[in-house]
Amino acid sequence: MSTEEVPATPAEEPKPEAEEAEEDVFGDDDDLFAEPDGDEAAEAAAALKEKLYLEAKKRGEEKLQKSKSMIVMEIKPYEPEFDLEALAQGIKAMTHEGIQNWGEQHKLEPVAFGIKKLIVSVIVHDMKVSVDDITDMINEKYEDDIQSIDIQSMSKV
């Protein structure tokens, strides 16, 4: 027999790769839930957290800058003879940095005993003006003629 034809002993045979993988399944080498060691991981996590916070803050500010509301108000005068058409024109002529525009139309609805109420709408920028600011503006200008201002509805635009 030549040396090339010598059969291999069972101890010298290579193991299949599947058997090697099965042996390492329960090994402690790969801890999937372990936290990475070192200050680098902590610094990277802190930097990522700060970046995400700044991005979220920027998106939130942009949304607030763009947010608008439509407010529908009911304005009731003291006396039935009061000219609500002139009142509507005077209110729509009011300007403020936060007022985008007043509604083109307005309504006069009867309340009781000949008194009517004026219904008018306005679109405002939420960051620049509030409902209280608008009602205060109207009350300051027409405080002797207006009995009350009620908010009929308010919705985001």
The pLDDT tens digits of the residues spanning 50-61 come to: 888 888 888 877
Nearest one of 139, 157, 142 to 100, comparing CA atoms: 157
Mean pLDDT value across residues 88-92: 92
Mean pLDDT value across residues 1-12: 55
Lowest-pLDDT choice from 8-12, 41-45, 60-64: 8-12
State how far the Cα of 37 lies from the Cα of 32, in Å rounded to an integer: 13
Lowest-pLDDT choice from 2-16, 77-91, 117-131: 2-16
123 phi and psi, to 5 degrees?
Answer: -110, 125
Model pLDDT, residue 112: 87
Mean pLDDT value across residues 92-120: 91
Model pLDDT, residue 119: 95
Decide if 131 contacts 152 (C-beta within 8 A).
no
Q: Mean pLDDT of all residues in the chain?
A: 80
- Paired tokens of 74: 């009911």
CA 23 to chain CA mean position, Å: 53
Mean pLDDT value across residues 75-93: 91
In the chain, the percentage of residues whose pLDDT exceeds 90 is 36
Instruction: Return the number of other C-beta atoms located less than 10 Å from residue 139's C-beta.
Output: 13
State how far the Cα of 117 lies from the Cα of 148, in Å rounded to an integer: 10
Nearest one of 80, 146, 87, 151 to 112, comparing CA atoms: 80
Residues shown for the chain: 157
Q: State pTM to two decimals.
A: 0.59
Helix (H, G, I), strand (E, B) or coil at 150: strand
pLDDT in tens, 133-148: 999 999 999 988 899 9
